[in-house]
Amino acid sequence: MTTDQSPLIHLTGVDKTYRRGSEEIRVLAGLSLTVQRGEFLALMGPSGSGKSTLLNLLGGLDRPTKGAVEIGGERIDALTDRRLAGWRARHVGLVFQFYNLLPVMTAERNVELPLLLTPLSRAERRRHVATALAVVGLRDRTNHYPRQLSGGEQQRVGIARAIVTDPTLLLCDEPTGDLDRKSGDEILSLLQTLNREQGKTIIMVTHDPHASARASRTVHLDKGQLSAAAPA
């Protein structure tokens, strides 16, 4: 990814259509969106509005039916599956609503997973993992398994895993959706810190206005189209 001042994300005329039997469901309809580097963007909208589909397109987990998805100057919709997997590993950190940690691995090993895709040595990987866990405040939980951690702690491990490769872009799919208010606030504060102090560009899908209030900009999706954009 380039480091110039051009927008990080540029979506142009993106359509996404799913087929269910003989029926075609148009989830995104000619959507265009630009996100600047260092933005913290909240993506809101009712269920089925296409928020998660949009996030999947931005993360290279899915492809548009039509239109262009350009991130960091690269048309990711044109990459092969193999190159797209490599691109994800290098440039994107993913944070999930249900944390998606591997239950048989300790926090340390879960965080280490994305580093297995890099040429780093074992010692270097350990150092990076320790730093990431320190950033999310879990330095003392390295050898705990997910079942031994609270929901908030598990999400912190998820965030540590997302930032351990130092990606430019963090994509968070309802990161506080499974947490109580207090834990949710802590996670949002952590995301804000990552955005402000480390310059991470964050796109967060949420239903929660309280969460979107922490973002620098909120866009609303309705029936596959951006209905409004309001500055925070």
Q: How far is the CB of 147 from other proteins (least distance, A)?
A: 12
Q: How far is the CB of 97 from other proteins (least distance, A)?
A: 8
> Nearer Cβ to other proteins, position 82 or 182?
82
Residues within the interface to other proteins (CB under 8 A) = 52-53, 56, 59, 61-62, 81-82, 85-86, 88-90, 94, 96, 98, 100, 102-105, 109, 113-114, 116-119, 161
217: helix, strand or coil: strand
Q: What is the CA radius of gyration of the chain?
A: 17
> Nearer Cβ to other proteins, position 24 or 213?
24
Contacts of 19 (CB under 8 A, 6+ apart): 25
Rounded to whole angstroms, the Cα distance separating 120 from 129 reads: 12
Residue 176's φ and ψ, nearest 5 degrees, are: -110, 5
> Nearer Cβ to other proteins, position 200 or 214?
200
Q: How far is the CB of 146 from other proteins (least distance, A)?
A: 11
> Nearer Cβ to other proteins, position 109 or 207?
109
> Nearer Cβ to other proteins, position 60 or 184?
60
Rounded to whole angstroms, the Cα distance separating 175 from 152 reads: 10
> Nearer Cβ to other proteins, position 27 or 41?
27
Contacts of 163 (CB under 8 A, 6+ apart): 93, 132, 135, 136, 170, 194, 198, 200
Q: How far is the CB of 219 from other proteins (least distance, A)?
A: 20
Rounded to whole angstroms, the Cα distance separating 31 from 53 reads: 12
Q: How far is the CB of 196 from other proteins (least distance, A)?
A: 25
Q: How far is the CB of 60 from other proteins (least distance, A)?
A: 9
| Contact (CB, 8 A) for 52 and 129 | no
Q: Pairing mode, if any, of strands 74-75 and 92-95?
A: unpaired
DSSP designation for 69: E
